């Protein structure tokens, strides 16, 4: 079973999450049911994924008590604003068939719209009102986090960012650790690209694991919360069988050397070229 960790406001969060980005709505309920049966208790969705309703249906039908499943959803940046944030959360709650979410994230920054802070204030109020158990951000850099820290007393519970062996984000992770922010890793196996890495393949064989298991275990040992997505039942089970072995320190060091490897998977964050706030 997945181990858990705690957010800076004391909420328990399973250390392996199941992501549902790019799972078509028509396949989401069946896939989430498979994930829950496999033992996942942390589901990561978003308004923008268009499958919150199907996630809700799967959880309700699964018979797993609501309080045993950690549900994250995210606000679409097109709806940033104080009032709209509350309205959009209500819409998400209805779709998810629940009265609260465990984690509410601002999905990505849109400095050009300049309504991020309004949404963050709304998140603070939703947290105080009990509609969300924790609030966080996604796709923020160190500079962005500093920008937010200069304008809000509330430290985000998590920052959900792209991390995989060829894009390890050390500086950002260290900043998170120093400020009590949990690191959630999206694209944890680089959408399958990291599995082709010869170093990781050799190491995986040495541990008697698949490359995906080795990489997801590496995330756990760094303190990340990996959010892996799969629609394939055997892979869903495989990706959760990572809590019964340990990568030794020397091999963690070898994996560290893959950061920035030009032969590794290129970062999608950088290629997206999101605009940033001016300091």
Ligand X SMILES: NC(=O)c1ccc[n+]([C@@H]2O[C@H](COP(=O)([O-])OP(=O)(O)OC[C@H]3O[C@@H](n4cnc5c(N)ncnc54)[C@H](OP(=O)(O)O)[C@@H]3O)[C@@H](O)[C@H]2O)c1
- By C-beta, is 19 or 93 nearer to ligand X? 19
Q: Write the interaction track for ligand X spanning residues 48-87; mark x where CB under 6 A is met and - where it is not.
A: ----------------------------------------
Residue with tokens 């850099």: 141
Rounded alpha-carbon distances, angstroms, from residue 10 to 4, 13, 135, 198, 276: 12, 9, 12, 40, 30
- Candidates 3-11, 33-41, 165-173, 235-243; binding stretch for ligand X (CB under 6 A): 235-243
Burial zone of 198 (CB within 10 Å; 0-12 exposed, 13-18 middle, 19+ buried): exposed
Among 21, 40, 49, 175, the one annotated catalytic: 49
For residues 181 and 8, the answer to whether their CB atoms sit within 8 Å is yes
Residues near ligand X (CB under 6 A), total: 26
For residues 42 and 2, the answer to whether their CB atoms sit within 8 Å is yes
Among 13, 189, 204, 225, binds ligand X (CB under 6 A): 189
- Candidates 118-126, 150-158, 171-179, 229-237; binding stretch for ligand X (CB under 6 A): 229-237
- Does 191 interact with ligand X (rule: CB under 6 A)? yes
- By C-beta, is 85 or 230 nearer to ligand X? 230
Among 222, 227, 258, 265, binds ligand X (CB under 6 A): 227
Question: Which residue is nearest to ligand X, using beta carbons?
Answer: 19
Counting runs of H as helices and runs of E as strands, what totals does the chain give? 11, 10
- Does 160 interact with ligand X (rule: CB under 6 A)? yes
> 49 catalytic, yes or no?
yes
Q: Closest distance between ligand X and the C-beta of residue 185, in Å? A: 8
- By C-beta, is 93 or 228 nearer to ligand X? 228
- By C-beta, is 22 or 206 nearer to ligand X? 22
Which stretches of the chain are DSSP H helices?
25-38, 52-62, 82-96, 116-128, 142-149, 170-179, 198-207, 211-222, 233-238, 249-256, 268-272
Residue with tokens 């990489």: 215
Rounded alpha-carbon distances, angstroms, from residue 8 to 47, 158, 183: 25, 9, 12
- By C-beta, is 222 or 228 nearer to ligand X? 228
Cα separation, 239 vs 233, whole angstroms: 10
Among 187, 203, 224, 225, binds ligand X (CB under 6 A): 187
DSSP code of 1?
Answer: -
Helices 82-96 and 52-62: angle between axes, nearest 10 degrees: 40
Which residues here bind ligand X, judged by CB under 6 A? Answer: 19-21, 44, 108, 138-139, 160, 186-192, 195, 212, 227-232, 235, 238-239
The residues annotated as belonging to the active site are: 49
């Amino acid at each position: 079973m997945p181990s858990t960790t705690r957010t800076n406001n004391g909420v328990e969060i399973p250390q392996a999450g199941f992501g549902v980005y790019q799972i078509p709505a028509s396949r989401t309920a069946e896939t989430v049911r498979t994930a829950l049966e496999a033992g996942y208790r942390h589901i990561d969705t978003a308004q923008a994924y268009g499958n919150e309703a199907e996630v809700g249906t799967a959880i309700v039908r699964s018979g797993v008590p609501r309080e045993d499943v950690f549900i994250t959803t995210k606000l679409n940046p097109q709806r940033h604003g104080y009032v709209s944030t509350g309205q959009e959360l209500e819409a998400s709650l209805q779709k998810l068939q629940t009265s609260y979410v465990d984690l509410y994230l601002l999905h990505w920054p849109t400095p050009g719209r300049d309504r991020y802070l309004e949404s963050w204030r709304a998140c603070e109020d939703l947290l105080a009102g009990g509609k969300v158990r924790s609030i966080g951000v996604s796709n923020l850099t160190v500079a962005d986090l500093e920008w937010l820290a200069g304008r809000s007393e509330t430290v985000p519970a998590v920052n959900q960012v792209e991390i995989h062996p060829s894009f390890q984000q050390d500086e950002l992770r260290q900043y998170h650790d120093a400020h009590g922010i949990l690191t959630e890793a999206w694209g944890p196996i680089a959408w399958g690209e990291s599995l082709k890495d010869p170093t990781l393949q050799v190491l995986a064989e040495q541990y008697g694991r698949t490359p995906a298991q080795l990489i997801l275990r590496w995330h756990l040992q760094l303190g990340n919360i990996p959010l892996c997505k799969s629609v394939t039942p055997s892979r869903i089970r495989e990706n959760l069988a990572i809590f019964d072995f340990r990568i030794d320190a020397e091999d963690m060091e070898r994996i560290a050397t893959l950061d920035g490897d030009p032969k590794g998977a290129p970062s999608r964050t950088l290629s997206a070229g999101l605009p940033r706030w001016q300091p």
